[in-house]
Amino acid sequence: MTVIQKINDPDEHEEKMNHIFEKLNRKGRLQTKLNSFIPIGIAIYILIMKKLFNFINVKLTDNENHEKQVDWDNSYTLKKFAFSVVNCYYSIYYILFVKNFSGKCVRGENCFGEIKTQLTFIIIVEFISIIIEIGVP
């Protein structure tokens, strides 16, 4: 069989193309599974950083040497709020403004599915964290 006959044989060509598509499909499923673990990891990272910053925030505020408890409380609250906003929502900002406009979204034309997934996991991890804080003295 010559090279020209191999190229012109539609059955063999179709079989090779099906084999290639199966490989690509397997990789796509693996990529989809990996993409579902990323929001879980980010949500756990947010929780860990929140706990770490709560410890650091108390030390920083104590070192400011405030005269009144109200000043200490205000300083602590301001730092905690600023860090929480950045820590909890940086991944949402990244998906919405960077990934969405650069065209690197995983599913479809926009990244709203990824934002929905990320917010869902953030809320679930925060809820579990609150339950643990209530249960552990």
| Residue entry with tokens 């804080």 | 133
Report whether pLDDT(24) > 80: no
pLDDT of residue 81: 92
In a domain, 25, yes or no: no
| pTM of the complete model | 0.61
In a domain, 9, yes or no: no
pLDDT of residue 23: 61
In a domain, 8, yes or no: no
Beta strands in 60-115 (DSSP E): none
Q: For the chain, how many structural domains are there in total?
A: 1
Q: Which domain holds residue 44?
A: 38-135
pLDDT in tens, 81-113: 999 888 888 888 888 888 777 777 766 567 788
- Start-to-end CA span in the chain (Å): 79
| Residue entry with tokens 């949402």 | 92
Of 47-51, 57-61, 84-88, 133-137, the poorest mean pLDDT is in 133-137
